[in-house]
Structure 1
Amino acid sequence: MTARKVGRVALIVLGSVIAIYFIVRAVVELFVVDFGDPSSYSDAWGGPSLAGVLAVHCGPGLISSVVMGYLLTRRARRSRRRQTPRTPR
C-alpha cells in the first residue's frame, strides 16, 4: 500500500470515529437534559437557554450525520456505476 493510500485510510477511519462520537453524543444529550428543569442545563456549554445547549451539543451530531449520509450515498452510487457492464454502441 502506498503512503498516500495509508494516509487516506487513516483519515477516513479517524473522521468516521469522530463523526460517530458526535452522533452518539447528540442522541445521549436528548436523554440527559431535563427539559422541565432549566438548572440542569443552565451551566452547560451554550446555556443558559435550552436552544443554545441543544445547538452546541446536538448540532455537530446533526451535521456529522448529514455529511456521513451524503458521503455514503455518493460512494454507493460510484460503486454501482463501476459494477454495471458497459454495452458497446
Structure 2
Amino acid sequence: MVLLPPDESSQRTIKRSRVLSYVLVTLAAVVLSLRPDLFGDPQTQPAHALLHVWRIVLGIVLAVAALGVQVLVGVRWRRSLRTDSRAPGNRGPHPR
C-alpha cells in the first residue's frame, strides 16, 4: 500500500501532536528527575514515601500520554486516508 503525503491540515495536526508529545516527555523527565531531597527529610515527613511513589507514577503517566498522542494522531490520519480513498469515484465493486 502506498501512502500519500499528508495534506496541509494533517501536517499541522502532526506537527502540533509532536510538539505536545515533546512537552509531555520533557515534563515526564523533569518529574522523574526530581531529587528526593526536594520533598524534605523522610524522618520528619511520614508521607515522604508516598511523594516518591506519586513522582514515579506521574512521570510514567506523562510518558504514556506522550505515546498515546502519537498513536491517536496516527490512527486518525490513517482512518482519514481510508475514508478519502472510498470517495464515490474510487469505489470498487460492492461486496455482497
Q: TM-score, normalising length from structure 2?
A: 0.47
Q: Which has more radius of gyration?
A: 2
Higher relative contact order (CA 8 A, sep 6+): 2
